[in-house]
Amino acid sequence: MHAEFLQYAVDLARQNVADGGGPFGAIVVKEGCIIASSGNRVTPNLDPTAHAEIMAIRTACQALGDFQLNDCTLYTSCEPCPMCLGAIYWARMKGVYYACNRFDAAAAGFDDSFIYGEIPKQPAQRSIAMHYLALPGAGSPFEVWNRLENKVCY
């Protein structure tokens, strides 16, 4: 069953190239049913976040009317990049199956492996420098949040 769903994601990835997108595909499965699917749509949508996994997660959430996908499994043609890995955690998915890895993606010209390598570096030492700047009141959004009653946690 896992192999069949994963094959579907790989076929979607191949078809997505013909449809003007990148060579990646992903589906979200809940209780044995595909509830969302997408190819990578970065260039046609002018959206660097439109990876197949992100698109499928967003579509699945809309379909379920929920901001989490607790009982859902992701099948993706290639190992999720750090962006998509983060999205999988925020969606609190059940598990992930993938058919190629970050090194296969790198060989095809994609930055997945490079970005993984940037993460352990000190923020200011990354190739895109990330600077901490001390501001008075920087913690005020969290203070307002902590005081808020009946908030929707996520």
Angle at 45 between CA 42 and CA 49, to 5 degrees: 45
Is 53 known to be catalytic? yes
Contacts of 25 (CB under 8 A, 6+ apart): 9, 10, 11, 12, 13, 14, 15, 16, 37, 38, 39, 40, 52, 76, 77
Of 32 and 141, CB closest to a copy of itself: 141
Of 33 and 153, CB closest to a copy of itself: 153
Of 35 and 91, CB closest to a copy of itself: 91
Of the listed 53, 79, 143, 149, which one is catalytic?
A: 53
Lookup: tokens for 104: 């296969």
Task: Read off the amino acid at residue 113.
Answer: S
In the complex, the smallest distance separating the C-beta of residue 33 from a copy of itself, rounded to whole angstroms, is 19
Q: How far apart are CA 66 and CA 142, in angstroms?
A: 24
φ and ψ of 21, to 5 deg? -110, -170
In the complex, the smallest distance separating the C-beta of residue 4 from a copy of itself, rounded to whole angstroms, is 10
In the complex, the smallest distance separating the C-beta of residue 66 from a copy of itself, rounded to whole angstroms, is 6
In the complex, the smallest distance separating the C-beta of residue 125 from a copy of itself, rounded to whole angstroms, is 12
Of 34 and 100, CB closest to a copy of itself: 100
Catalytic residue set? 53
